[in-house]
A = this chain, B = another copy of it.
């Protein structure tokens, strides 16, 4: 008998991870269509053939990443629905985002996938699911802002507009972080939540 099950398993996991890292980086930076399979394989340091041993098509690989993104987003939506104080929820969420930005986690890349999936024709069911989560995220953000306004933690104003602005600013930060790389400077919590959190509360 050759290698053990565990050894093979470990090998497969290792190459899968290499593929993931390369793919998310390239899909985020160039978009699904512009990121070629050759590109991804080269970045992952493997052959094209091996890629196809792990994923039936390029689309399947994309879908797997999309479903990770959907999971992450779902967790956030769930937290937004909890009974915690709106101001604390927003603060924690924003801090985590800014932290991930600073630590070069893959958060920016995942956000770019999210965005791409919103304008794809013939979306896979994974993409459809992610899009549902994006929608839920928007709705829960609006709800949370309204709640915070009721508690007088947040500034008054049109909650929908505020939610669009909040999510847009985060999305924009991800985008600029990706395109600028090193030069990017993560703004402070105060700057990012200033439009929302009342002055007494920060």
Contacts and interface: CB of A to CB of B under 8 A. Distances in A.
A29 B184 CA distance: 25
A161 B118 CA distance: 29
What's the number of copies of this chain in the assembled complex? 2
A192 interface: yes
Contacts of A172: 167-173, 175
A119 B34 CA distance: 11
A179 B30 contact: no
Contacts of A162: 187, 191
A125 B31 CA distance: 22
Q: Is the interface of A mostly helix, strand, loop or mixed?
A: helix
Contacts of A160: 185
A52 interface: no
Interface of A: 29-34, 115, 118-119, 157-158, 160-162, 164-165, 167-173, 175-176, 178-180, 184-188, 190-192, 194-195
B165 A169 contact: yes
Contact of A168 (B32, B161, B175): B175
22 contacts: A29-B119, A30-B33, A119-B178, A157-B190, A158-B187, A160-B185, A161-B188, A161-B191, A162-B191, A164-B173, A164-B176, A164-B185, A164-B187, A165-B169, A165-B191, A168-B169, A168-B173, A171-B175, A172-B172, A191-B195, A192-B195, A194-B195
